[in-house]
Amino acid sequence: MQEKALSYPGGLTAVVEYIPTVRSVAVGFWVGTGSRHEQKANNGISHFTEHMLFKGTDTMGAQDIANAFENYGAHINAFTGKEYTCYYFKSIDEYKADCFRLLSEIFFDSVFDPAELDRERKVIIEEINMVEDAPEDLCSDVIAAAAYGEAGLGRTILGSVKNVSRFTRADILSYMRANYLPQNTVISFAGNITSAEADKLIGRFVLPKFPAAPTQKSGTAQSENRRKYLARIKDFEQSNIALSWPSVKFADEKMPIQTVMNVIVGGGMSSRLFQSVRERQGLAYSVYSAPSGYTDCGNFNILLNITPANTQETLLSVKAELDKLKAGGITEAELTRARVQLKAALVFSQESVQGQMNALGKFMLNTGRIYDVDERIQEIDGVTLSAVNGLIRETFDYQKLNAAYVGKETGVDMLGLFA
């Protein structure tokens, strides 16, 4: 496999991983804008824009777009995050140029017909309503608000029904002019496509559409909370709990240490929390840890799905395990197992062209560097016992804990249990 970065006028970047042994290609247009870059009045516009790019261009209607990709046997989709939006396809190598042309057309030439806007806003409002009936998704939004407040990373990706109900074509065009910029975009390729082929496609279908001169894009500062608790009392049979601590940012030098720590704390079936809270005590249906890294900050989360009556007992059990980790540290056997698990996951990820495209695009967008699996493996091999134990003590400071709860009222003082 060969990775190569390509740079263009205006700041556009592409990254290519040529894998000649496969017959498929995945391509993603990554734009460095998401809910973090919105304001209260336009929260949800990133996600709304993502939906609308599939609803018609000058030459194709919404059904024409779907038919065009499926005529080539290709898969087309998109997703919006806190800091990025990605539009991508996966096709067989025979049709990579045709699909790239189509993806470029919807990216640059969508017309945002008002009738389509009205239809799609109904779909998104249903999506927002679905979250209210999805405890885990709702808890994810609540813990973000607890950790980061009402701005930036604390905003929901979907936005509010009020905002979605009034977004117009002019709103979308204004948002795209401010954020869909060449220096804010990375195009990632993975699969049976060379850097020369990728360069040719970009030169033909992308460069004529992007402005050549860079445009200044303002950043967004992010505040973080400490000891903040938020709850949504809902009549669910199961409750969801999220515990969150400030942690390392994306691609931070401590990220490999945190990745190892995560596997041991709650990242798999052999983890401390899974074995104790679920397997030995039977207190939770699911319990796991999941760090989230952003460009300038991050958080380490522990998520639980439990019976409301078990809330206090379960949280005390979690605290007991964290206290054991802080006092006694991890073992060499745990460190070795975590390293092996992570290296296997990295190697397995190379078997998926879409997974590689995602890793390349996100890493280049956030760091300006090429994602290299061999480097990641070397970083994992370099993680030491003392480094993991040090990060455990640094991370699980109960004075920095934020918490969220979704479910029936329990009367439990969640933060008070972590004194």
Q: What is the pLDDT of residues 330-360, one digit of tens each?
A: 999 999 999 999 999 999 998 899 999 999 9
pLDDT tens figures, 240-273: 999 999 999 999 999 999 999 999 999 999 999 9
Structural domain contains residue 224: no
The question of whether 150 is a catalytic residue gets the answer no
Whether 47 shows a pLDDT value over 60: the answer reads yes
Structural domain contains residue 409: yes
Cβ atoms within 10 Å, residue 409: 12
Which residues in 284-299 are b (16+ Cβ under 10 Å) and which e? beebbbebbbbbebbb
Identity at 312, one-letter amino acid code: Q
- Residue 173's pLDDT band, with cuts at 50, 70 and 90, is very high
Classified as helix, coil or strand, 41 is: helix
HSE value, Cβ hemisphere, 13 Å, CA-based, for 341? 17
Q: Is-contact 14 187, C-beta < 8 A?
A: yes
Among 189, 211, 206, which Cα is nearest to 198's? Answer: 189
Distance CA 324, CA 414 (A): 19
This prediction has a pTM of 0.95
Asked whether residue 233 falls in the same domain as residue 201, the answer is no
Which CATH number is 359's domain given? 3.30.830.10
Structural domain contains residue 407: yes
Asked whether residue 186 falls in the same domain as residue 320, the answer is no
Asked whether residue 190 falls in the same domain as residue 142, the answer is yes
Asked which of 173, 205, 237 is the last residue of a domain, the reply is 205
For 253, the token pair is 């030098």
- Residue 2's pLDDT band, with cuts at 50, 70 and 90, is confident
Distance CA 88, CA 7 (A): 20
Asked whether residue 121 falls in the same domain as residue 66, the answer is yes
| pLDDT at residue 3 in the model | 85
- Residue 1's pLDDT band, with cuts at 50, 70 and 90, is low
**Cα angle at 82 between 258 and 202, to 5 degrees?**
100
Asked whether residue 326 falls in the same domain as residue 241, the answer is yes
Asked whether residue 286 falls in the same domain as residue 187, the answer is no
Asked whether residue 172 falls in the same domain as residue 309, the answer is no
Asked which of 205, 240, 257 is the last residue of a domain, the reply is 205
Whether 219 shows a pLDDT value over 70: the answer reads no
Q: Is-contact 305 136, C-beta < 8 A?
A: yes
Over pLDDT 70: what percentage of the chain? 97
CA torsion angle 79 80 82 83 (round to 10): 90
Asked whether residue 241 falls in the same domain as residue 324, the answer is yes
* First-to-final CA distance of the chain: 51
Structural domain contains residue 129: yes
Q: Tell me the β-bridge partners of 388.
A: none
Which of the two residues, 222 and 54, has the higher pLDDT score?
54
| pLDDT at residue 101 in the model | 98
For 193, the token pair is 């496509």
Among 385, 377, 403, 411, which Cα is nearest to 328's? Answer: 385
Structural domain contains residue 223: no
Distance CA 309, CA 284 (A): 11
Asked whether residue 246 falls in the same domain as residue 186, the answer is no
- Residue 221's pLDDT band, with cuts at 50, 70 and 90, is low
Asked whether residue 240 falls in the same domain as residue 165, the answer is no
Whether 215 shows a pLDDT value over 60: the answer reads no
Phi/psi of residue 192, nearest 5 degrees? -85, 70
- Residue 218's pLDDT band, with cuts at 50, 70 and 90, is low
Structural domain contains residue 9: yes
pLDDT tens figures, 108-156: 999 999 999 999 999 999 999 999 999 999 999 999 999 999 889 999 9
Q: Residue 24's Cα: distance from chain center in Å?
A: 24
- Please tell me the total count of domains within the chain: 2
Structural domain contains residue 356: yes
HSE value, Cβ hemisphere, 13 Å, CA-based, for 316? 7
Asked whether residue 191 falls in the same domain as residue 132, the answer is yes
Distance CA 378, CA 362 (A): 20
Task: Pinpoint the alpha helices (H) of 234-310.
Answer: 255-265, 272-273
Domain residue limits at 308: 229-417
What is the average pLDDT score of the chain?
Answer: 95
| pLDDT at residue 225 in the model | 84
How many residues would you count in the chain? Answer: 419
Distance CA 102, CA 108 (A): 10
Strands 185-191, 286-293: parallel, antiparallel or unpaired by DSSP? unpaired
Classified as helix, coil or strand, 271 is: coil
Q: Is-contact 217 31, C-beta < 8 A?
A: no
Structural domain contains residue 211: no
| pLDDT at residue 254 in the model | 97
Asked whether residue 161 falls in the same domain as residue 243, the answer is no
Which of the following is catalytic: 17, 50, 83, 116?
50
Distance CA 99, CA 93 (A): 10
Helix (H), strand (E) at residue 322:
helix 311-328
- Residue 211's pLDDT band, with cuts at 50, 70 and 90, is confident
Whether 393 shows a pLDDT value over 80: the answer reads yes
Write the CA distances from 212 to 8, 9, 108, 182, 269, integer angstroms: 9, 5, 15, 8, 50
| pLDDT at residue 179 in the model | 95
Q: Is 256 exposed, middle or buried (0-12, 13-18, 19+ CB in 10 A)?
A: buried
